[in-house]
Amino acid sequence: MNDKDIDALLGAARLPESTVPLCLRGDLQAEWETLERALAEVKQRGDRRLAGSPEEAKLARQLRDLEAQMQDSTITLRLRALPRREFMKLVEKHPARKDNQVDRMVGVNQATFYDALIGACVVEPELDEERLTRLLDALTDAQFNKLANTAWELNRSDVSVPFSRTASRITTNSDET
C-alpha cells in the first residue's frame, strides 16, 4: 500500500455509529398485550370463515392502530463513538468509586459516567442538556441500559467488515441468472 492509499483511507475514516429506537409510550404495552390475548382467544374459538370473524377483524384493527401509536411514540437515536482520546478523558472525569466493586471492575463511576457518555455520543436528534435529562428520566432501566450499552460498545468494541449471508445468497443467486 502506498502513501496515497494510506492518506485516502485515513481521510475517509469515520467513527462507528449505531441507532437505538426507544418507545416512550410504555403504558401502551399492557393494552397491546391485552388485545393480543383477546385476538388469540377469538382465533382459538375457531371461526371457520376464510376472512375470520368480525370480532377478529375488529381486534386486529385495534392492534394495528395501537402498534402505529407506539411507532409514532418511538424516538430513534443515532449514536457515534467518541474519538479515543475524548473517550479516555470522559473515563478520567468519572473515576470508579473505591467502595463500589462493580465500578472498580468496569473502571468508571457508573452513577455518573453513562449519562455523560450517552450525552456525548448522541448525534441525532440534537438534544440539549435539559432535553437529554428529560429523555433519560423517561426511560425504563432496561431502555437506559440498552442506550448505555450501545454507547459503551461503540467506544469499546472493534469495527470489522460485516458479512451478510442473506445478501450473499441473493447476489449469488441473481448473478447466476
- Provide, rounded to the nearest whole percent, the portion of the chain with pLDDT above 70: 94
**pLDDT band at residue 4 using 50, 70 and 90 as cut-offs:** confident
Looking up cell 393480543 gives 36
Query: What single letter denotes the amino acid at residue 124?
Result: E
Q: What is the tally of structural domains in the chain?
A: 1
Q: What is the DSSP letter of 13?
A: -
Write out pLDDT tens, residues 68-77.
999 999 999 9
Give the mean pLDDT of 105-115: 95
C-alpha cell at 51: 376472512
Domain that holds residue 28: 15-156
**pLDDT band at residue 128 using 50, 70 and 90 as cut-offs:** very high
- What is residue 166's predicted lDDT score, i.e. its pLDDT? 86
In a domain, 7, yes or no: no
Query: What single letter denotes the amino acid at residue 154?
Result: L
In a domain, 172, yes or no: no
**pLDDT band at residue 5 using 50, 70 and 90 as cut-offs:** confident
C-alpha cell at 40: 388469540
CA–CA distance, 151 with 15 (Å, rounded to integer):
12
In a domain, 39, yes or no: yes
Q: 92 with 109: CB under 8 angstroms?
A: no
In a domain, 67, yes or no: yes
In a domain, 70, yes or no: yes
In a domain, 117, yes or no: yes
End-to-end CA distance of the chain: 36
Q: Average model confidence (pLDDT) for the chain? A: 90
In a domain, 6, yes or no: no
List 22's β-bridge partners, or say none.
75
List 18's β-bridge partners, or say none.
79
- Angle 119-156-144 from CA coordinates, rounded to 5°: 40
Write out pLDDT tens, residues 8-41.
888 888 899 999 999 999 899 999 999 999 998 8
- What is residue 36's predicted lDDT score, i.e. its pLDDT? 93
C-alpha cell at 2: 502506498
- What is residue 174's predicted lDDT score, i.e. its pLDDT? 63
